[in-house]
Amino acid sequence: MNESLLRELVPAVIGVLVRRGADFASAEDAVQEALIKALETWPDDPPRDPKGWLVAAAWRRFLDAVRSESSRRGRELAVDAEPPPGPAPVADDTLRLYFLCAHPTLPPPAAVALTLRAVGGLTTRQIAEAYLVPEATMAQRISRAKKKISGESLDRPGDLATVLRVVYLVFNEGYGGDVDLAAEAIRIARQLVTLTDEPEVAGLLALMLLHHARRAARTGAGGRLVPLAEQDRSLWDTVAIAEGVQILQTALARDRLGEYQAQAAIAALHADAPSTAETDWVQIVEWYDELLAITDSPVVRLNRAVAVGESDGPQAGLAALSGLDPDLPRHAAVTAYLHERSGDLARAADLYAQASRSATSTLERDHLAREAARVRRLPAP
């Protein structure tokens, strides 16, 4: 049995229960219980109609929960009827469920957790292990999120931009426990592409595929971080790169550029280059200019400065940093790299050490500390 294919049915089944009268929180709980039962029984006794089986099993669990609460007798009378047999309804509320799980009122960690459970079909235990927190903590987070949106309807319009941000947050968590969150985000994005005609959704999928294609080359012996310039490009997944480029080209042809398409175009140029020296840095700077026109983000300006340093020289890159807040994450590391390129090794070593002290991850901290030590060993120009 393909567990990921089973999980793809979860949001549609939740939508069916909500349309039958269940509230979102109860429907989601019932579908989770049905999903666990399916994982236990389907390998030995697979149903002919998987979606119909899940709908029937989840609906029975919902009714059992309602009947067990004597204080909700009025509601029981309204729903206490088994739906007639037959195929599951064709109405699909999956896109609306995306909107609900990524509701703007939810803090990002709660939206991510709820999306992984209600849309991704993951169990609370799996999500907790992926985020390295106790299962009880994750259960509380999900419960609070469901309570916060309990009054929201699936029929209300949602914010696609918020959904995309949540999916990208999932992707950037990478891997934890027995769940590959990057792969899970790609799977969710593939489903989202089938539900909407927006090129930015395709742009996000292309971006994630292109980044994920480099995954095997990002760490070396002992788990060391390997920067892009030093990666063994033969380890890159060329199939994922080709798919990402094709999806991106189709999206760009729609002539409705968004930030994820622009980021994917930059990633595609990196993926296309045999080496750092052979990268089309001029075109990358142009894409950063497009991205700045959309977002005006200081982080984009910082990354653009690196590209300018490669295309026009380190002094031009340092000039492109002017006006940016020195406390911006990675500012010291970028400045160190550009000073090293310009030959100011003492300043570069000090900045690498400074960047290491303020790094937010152990991998990045250790990498920057090694860079500081490496530059200090270089002969003076």
Q: Where are the domains positioned within the chain?
A: 3-91, 93-179, 197-292, 297-381
Task: Give residue 255's identity as a one-letter amino acid code.
Answer: D
Asked if residues 182 and 212 have their Cβ atoms less than 8 Å apart, the reply is: yes
Nearest to 346 by CA among 360, 336, 358, 356: 336
**What rounded mean pLDDT belongs to the chain?**
89
Degrees to nearest 5, angle at CA 181 with 36 and 29: 30
The confidence score (pLDDT) of residue 176 equals 57
Alpha carbons 21 and 118: distance in angstroms, whole number = 17
CA distance linking residue 322 with residue 220, whole number of Å: 34
Q: What is the pLDDT of residues 79-111, one digit of tens each?
A: 444 444 444 444 457 888 889 899 988 999 999
pLDDT, tens digit, 9 for 90 and up, residues 38-58: 888 888 888 889 899 999 999
- pLDDT category at 19 given cuts 50, 70, 90 is confident
> Which pTM was predicted?
0.84
Q: Which amino acid is at 315?
A: Q
Would you state the CATH architecture of domain 93-179?
Answer: Orthogonal Bundle (1.10)
Helix (H, G, I), strand (E, B) or coil at 179: strand
Percent of the chain exceeding pLDDT 90 equals: 61
Q: Determine how many CB atoms are found less than 10 A away from the CB of residue 63.
A: 17
> What mean pLDDT comes out for the span 282-310?
97
Q: What sign does the dihedral 227-233-236-242 (CA atoms) show?
A: positive
Please, is 98 exposed, middle or buried when counting C-beta atoms within 10 Å of its C-beta (0-12, 13-18, 19+)?
buried
Cβ neighbours of residue 44 closer than 8 Å, sequence gap 6 or more: none
Query: In this structure, what DSSP letter does residue 104 have?
Result: T
Residue 316 CB neighbour total at 10 angstroms: 15
Sign of CA dihedral 115, 4, 202, 241: positive
| Cα gap 134→178, rounded to integer Å | 15
Residues across the chain: 381
| Mean pLDDT, range 64-76, rounded to an integer | 62
For the stretch 210-262, pLDDT in tens is 999 999 999 998 889 999 999 999 999 999 999 999 999 999 999 999 999 99
Architecture in CATH for domain 297-381: Alpha Horseshoe (1.25)
Taking each continuous run of H as one helix and of E as one strand, the counts in the chain are 20, 2
Tokens of 357: 């002290």
- Cα–Cα distances (Å) from 373 to 220, 352, 359, in that order, read 18, 9, 16
Q: Which letter, b or e, does each residue of 205-234 get, where b requires 16 or more Cβ atoms within 10 Å of its Cβ?
A: bbbbbbbbbbbebbeeeeeebbeeeebeee
Q: Give percent above pLDDT 70 in the chain.
A: 91
User: Tens digits of per-residue pLDDT, 257-291?
Assistant: 999 999 999 999 999 999 999 999 999 999 999 99
Taking CA atoms, 288 is separated from 39, 211, 259, in Å, by: 46, 17, 10
Q: Give the Å distances, CA to CA, from 59 to 14, 21, 30, 74.
A: 10, 10, 7, 18
